[in-house]
Amino acid sequence: MKSGRCSIKSIKRNSMTLLHDDMVKAVGWTLIHSIWQGMFLAVLAGIVILFTKKAAAVLRYNILSLLFVAFIATVAVTFSHEFSMEASSGVVQLDLPVAQQQFTSTAGTTDFLSQAVHFLNDNAATITWIWLLVFGVKMIGVFNAFGKIYRMRHYKNFEVPAYWNDRMSELALAINLKKHVLLRESVLVGIPCVTGYLKPIILLPFGMLANLPQDQVEAVLLHELAHIRRKDYFVNLLQHLAETVFFFNPGLLWVSSLVRDERENCCDDIALGVTGNKTDLVHALISFEACQSQKLSVAFAGDRKPLLQRVKRIVYDDNKSLSKAEKTFLSVCVVITGIAIIACTSPKTGDALRTSVNKALSGKIPAVQLPGNGAVRTVTQTTHQEVTTVETVQTNENTAPANETDDQAESPAPVCSPEPIVGPMPAESSTTSTVTTRTVNSKTKTAHTMDREVMAYDSENPSKNRHATLRTGITGENLPDDMNIDMLTNNIISDLINDHIITGTEGLSFRLSGNSLIVNGRKQCETVHAKLKRKYVKPKVSAICYNFEYRGDI
């Protein structure tokens, strides 16, 4: 019973570790993707600005808001996709033979994209933790803003004369607003603002009613009432939350500023529709221009930018266009978005290159369906200390010999000539196989491998069969849990193809270590070995194998 309880606790602990790691990496890749997605959003918003120069502000606002919400939905879908990928990457598929199941999609991967994806994949967790640290600081500011809102609503504000309450009710009816709104003067605000939805309050700077002409005050009140009628509080809140999460995203921040500008323009239009007097509204805006350098006391209302653009639009009926700086920014966005889309859609740098097997040796390995008699077996592994074996029957399966073909003879010469055969070749033929998924003691972490025991024909004595063990994985000392076996083998195979050492993965086997590089049983020259060793044999790694036959330890 005690052993059973320990096993259950170990399973739960391993499951929580997997979930934590998968979540961190999924968040990291979502943040990375959100950058080019935000730039694509900016490009679409720029097109909207260019083609709606004469359109009403409400149309521009609705389109930009729709794009903004679409971005958030896209990010949510991206996270779901990335999390499912990370979760599924913890499973090793045992579809035999190993040498023929994958890796062909990366043959022509460009060095730049391959290295970029490799770097981002290796540092996704670091990116996530850095983002989380800054996000935490930003959230402190958000909570501080909510605290300011609370203080504005409950402290140091004063009732206004009854005349202005009655007049505000009349103005609310003029724009079809039936919600009850409170009007207060406050010593804590520098410009008019509105806060709250269920119980909205319009806060005016203390002394404004006494110092501004009545027509200008009414224009300001109409503008703030328009915010309440349009329910801008919710969209504004969503914007600030998105800006807090994606504080690093220039595209998103720029589009959010456009949405905020157009929202103010919409409220200006509503106010002008009632008063019909541009002069009063313009004078009121200019009166508060000097206050714009002061941070808004209520973080979820109003515009932080100077009001000159709004004045220009009111006077000349001229909608915002793109400045030279914005056009330059959008040009950069187009280039980066194009590169990102190519990288994400290319089969050479897409999911095959991104697939991780960080936890390949923990969890449950799905059933393996082999051709022939259809025998199915399932391997279940519960702890790092266990080694689990499953025997399957395999018929009519041949491991291709690593012999040269006519195509290889016609291919360009390799960078250097290989030395003669120095070790056993992959098994030439097999009729039965035993798959052993190896993990090791979690304290030493000496191997992340998948071994296959095969009965093969002995080339030296065809009348007898011999045992052969084929290994795919990484061996070393104190290996981290997140060693990415798939990516390493993919990249090594890509380099071997680019160096014209191999032409494909059929019958392929290799072993890369600090001492040598053996491909298809042939030791490669030091030039190729040094190049791959420098790229892939990192500290604590002793060997990287792919379908490599060995006897004993390697």
* CA distances to 23, 331, 416 from 500, in Å: 39, 39, 10
Closest to 545 measured CA to CA, from 493, 480, 473, 452: 473
Q: Is the peptide bond before 462 cis (omega within 30 degrees of 0)?
A: no
Q: Is 113 exposed, middle or buried (0-12, 13-18, 19+ CB in 10 A)?
A: middle
Q: Which range marks the domain in which residue 400 is found?
A: 363-550
Are 180 and 111 members of one domain? no
181 Cβ partners below 8 Å, 6+ apart? 168, 172, 200, 201, 202, 225, 228
Three-class HEC string of 397-430: CCCCCCCCCHHHHHCCCCCCCCCCECCCCCCCCE
Percent of the chain at pLDDT above 70?
A: 64
* C-beta neighbour count of 106 within 10 angstroms: 23
Are 175 and 295 members of one domain? yes
Which range among 388-392, 405-409, 426-430, 532-536 shows the weakest confidence by mean pLDDT? Answer: 388-392
The C-alpha atoms of residue 15 and residue 89 are separated, in whole angstroms, by 14
Are 288 and 184 members of one domain? yes
Name the range with the highest mean pLDDT among 396-400, 448-452, 453-457.
448-452
Structure tokens at 42: 């900016």
211 Cβ partners below 8 Å, 6+ apart? none
Q: Which residues pair with 381 in a beta bridge?
A: 363
Q: What is the pLDDT of residue 34?
A: 94
The C-alpha atoms of residue 180 and residue 271 are separated, in whole angstroms, by 18
Residue 77 in this model has a pLDDT that exceeds 90: yes
Are 182 and 103 members of one domain? no
Are 396 and 545 members of one domain? yes
| Residue 2 falls inside a structural domain | no
Which range among 60-64, 276-280, 439-443, 467-471 shows the weakest confidence by mean pLDDT? Answer: 439-443
Are 256 and 385 members of one domain? no
Closest to 428 measured CA to CA, from 393, 391, 459: 459
Q: What is the pLDDT of residue 259?
A: 95
How many independent structural domains does the chain possess? 3
Residue keyed to tokens 């001492």 = 515
The C-alpha atoms of residue 529 and residue 522 are separated, in whole angstroms, by 12
Are 114 and 172 members of one domain? no
Q: What is the pLDDT of residue 276?
A: 86
Name the range with the highest mean pLDDT among 289-293, 358-362, 543-547.
543-547
Q: What is the pLDDT of residue 468?
A: 66
Separation of CA 114 from chain center: 17
Are 395 and 419 members of one domain? yes
The average pLDDT across 443-463 equals 55
- Contact between residue 503 and residue 440 where contact means Cβ atoms under 8 Å apart: no
Q: What is the pLDDT of residue 437?
A: 46
Kindly give the residue spans of alpha helices, DSSP state H, lying in 276-400. 278-287, 308-316, 324-345, 351-354
Residue 107 in this model has a pLDDT that exceeds 80: no
Residue 361 in this model has a pLDDT that exceeds 90: no
pLDDT in tens, 235-279: 999 999 999 999 999 999 999 999 999 999 999 999 999 988 888
For residue 524, give the DSSP letter.
P
The C-alpha atoms of residue 117 and residue 323 are separated, in whole angstroms, by 34
The average pLDDT across 321-343 equals 88
Q: What is the pLDDT of residue 351?
A: 46
Are 49 and 99 members of one domain? yes
The C-alpha atoms of residue 205 and residue 184 are separated, in whole angstroms, by 9
The average pLDDT across 67-80 equals 95
Q: What are phi and psi of 521, to 5 degrees?
A: 85, 0
Structure tokens at 193: 């603002």
pLDDT in tens, 498-521: 888 888 888 888 999 888 999 988
| Residue 311 falls inside a structural domain | no
| Residue 313 falls inside a structural domain | no
456 Cβ partners below 8 Å, 6+ apart? 399, 427, 428, 429, 430, 465, 466, 467, 468
How does residue 409 score in pLDDT terms, banded at 50, 70 and 90? very low
The average pLDDT across 357-379 equals 38
How does residue 455 score in pLDDT terms, banded at 50, 70 and 90? low
| Residue 318 falls inside a structural domain | no
Are 156 and 170 members of one domain? yes
Three-state secondary-structure class, residue 195 = strand
Residue 122 in this model has a pLDDT that exceeds 60: yes
| Residue 5 falls inside a structural domain | no
CA torsion sign, 338 to 341 to 345 to 347? positive
pLDDT in tens, 173-214: 999 998 889 999 998 888 888 888 888 999 998 888 888 889
| Residue 214 falls inside a structural domain | yes
Q: What is the pLDDT of residue 105?
A: 40
pLDDT in tens, 25-51: 888 889 999 999 999 999 999 999 999
Residue 388 in this model has a pLDDT that exceeds 70: no
